Amino acid sequence: MTVAVIITLLASFLWAITNHIDKYMLCKIDNDTSNVKTLLVFSSFVAGIVLSPIWLCISKFQIHINVVPLIFIFVSAILYILATYFYFKALEKNDASIVVVMFQLIPVFSYIFSLIFFKETLNIKEIIGALIIISSAIIISFDFGKTSNKNKLVALLLMALSSLLYSLYFICFDVAMRNGEYNAVAFWYQIGLLLIGICLISIKSFRTAFIKMLKSNGKKFIPLNITNEAINLIANLMVNFANLTIPLALANTLNGFQSAFVFIIGVIGVALFPKIISEDLNKRNVLQKVFCIGLGIIGLVVMFN
């Protein structure tokens, strides 16, 4: 169990790295408003072209799947891309440490959907934990040092919508998993992302942004995207392995440390790589982030224990 806990924490650390890579690709390579569109197209194609052959080999070409789970897989892929779009929009004008704290709304929405779709009930601890997490997301959205800055409030709305869609994505993926074999589900999920990428690039604005980025910064964007997707894949595999030996509730609690890792990486990164990593280290903002990160983790602990 100790090994599984360490693996889960390491996965959270890897996901924190991907959050900073996302931020870098959105704001540091080329400060262009079309970067979100470019990143969505890149991510979809990388998932489809690079990762689907990997899952094909892992599954030993056993990719047969029934119609019902296949439909849920494709729906989950659409939900994932939509959720990622709103996450990118929130990340575009806010520190990664602020945005990731709001990701803790995902288990809250998951509980609500479990209540609606699976007739599950919430006990008092789960309700209190959910309220604490919601409070942490709301508090970090307030900029106590400025009166006109609306970026954090916009981020809260975007991340609430993103978390809502990610929760629906997890439910659809879970339904597909219950009706199919994991490796086959993972393979067809990557194919679903590839199809979405093809649809996106057929849209003129997405295609124009994609071609422009290829010409100007393709040498940076492509390796970073492949690296980012590889890290994300490794983290997912680690969590899936850990979930075999530790309770899912404990895994969800440990994943709450991702926001802490994002902040720590941000602080260290600003000192060592200021041109790559950005983080507002104003004393007031640091205290606000630390407080909200801690509050969110406490909420997760209360909810899942």
DSSP string, 52-73: HHHHHHHTTT-----HHHHHHH
Among 146, 83, 105, residue whose Cα is nearest residue 280: 146
Q: Looking at this protein, which amino acid is placed at residue 232?
A: N
Domain hosting 218: range is 2-304
> What angle is formed at CA 2 by the lines to CA 262 and CA 239, rounded to 5 degrees?
50
* In the predicted structure, residue 268 carries a pLDDT above the cut 90: no
Q: What percent of the chain has pLDDT over 90?
A: 6
**What's the chain's average pLDDT?**
79
Instruction: State yes or no: pLDDT of 15 exceeds 50.
Output: yes
Q: Which of 85-89, 153-157, 227-231, 278-282 has the lowest mean pLDDT?
A: 278-282
Single pTM value for the model = 0.81
* pLDDT above 90 (res 279): no
pLDDT in tens, 53-98: 877 887 788 888 888 889 999 999 999 899 999 998 888 877 777 7
User: Residue 87 and residue 26: Cα distance in Å, rounded?
Assistant: 11
**Distances from the Cα of 205 to the Cαs of 36, 43, 92, 196, 202, in angstroms?**
11, 16, 18, 15, 9
Find the DSSP H helices in the chain: 2-27, 35-45, 52-58, 67-92, 96-102, 105-117, 124-140, 151-178, 182-201, 204-242, 248-255, 258-272, 283-304
Q: How many domains does the chain have?
A: 1
Name the pLDDT band for 165 (thresholds 50, 70, 90): very high
Q: Which residues contact 175 (CB under 8 A, 6 or more apart)?
A: 69, 72
Tell me the C-alpha distance between 196 and 193, whole Å. 5
Over residues 276-292, the mean pLDDT reads 76
Averaged pLDDT, 111-127: 72
pLDDT in the model for residue 210: 81
